[in-house]
Amino acid sequence: MRDRPWFEILPANTLPTRMSALDAAGFAVFALPSGIRDRQAFFDGVRTALPLDPPVQSDWNLDALEDSLWVGLGSSEVDRLAIVWPDVAEMVLQDEREFNMLLDTVVAVADILAHPMRGDATKLILIVLGL
């Protein structure tokens, strides 16, 4: 999964510079808050940082989150999107299995939006993780 060219893992202290460069390159940068250690904090962070359509009410339904992200990000006016998740090491240490499930959900949305057969303008999605 992490062999995609649009997937980056960077030292956390380099994220501000990378985010500035993405912004300068015309990316809409959506940054999750720091300190996400569990599923509830992840869902709370997604609700505050990313466009969701429809809004996601629960903290357990990954299919609903995937659909909501797909529509919310897909309807964005910009064609270049970056999702930044800082401090992922905190959640990996807390619950690596849960982290992988949540990350797989975000990556699935990126796969859908970046697919050339999508029908409308292909989105360029970049996922940046800070360790």
Instruction: Reply yes or no on whether the pLDDT at 115 is more than 80.
Output: no
| Predicted pLDDT of residue 120 | 52
**β-strands 7-10, 124-130 pairing:** parallel
pLDDT band at residue 46 using 50, 70 and 90 as cut-offs:
very high
Question: What CATH code is assigned to 7-130?
Answer: 3.30.370.10
Domain ranges of the chain: 7-130
Judge whether residue 2 has pLDDT over 80: no
CB 45 within 8 Å of CB 37? no
In angstroms, the Cα distances linking 18 to 26, 74, 128, 129, 131 are 13, 23, 9, 11, 13
Residue 102: band (very low, low, confident or very high) from pLDDT cuts 50, 70, 90: very high
* 78 has a pLDDT exceeding 90: no
Compute CA 63 distance to the chain's CA centroid, rounded to the nearest angstrom: 15
Q: 11-33 b/e with 16+ CB inside 10 Å = b?
A: eeeebeebbeebeeeebbbbbbe
- Looking at the DSSP bridge assignments, the partners of residue 125 are 81
What pTM does this model have?
Answer: 0.87
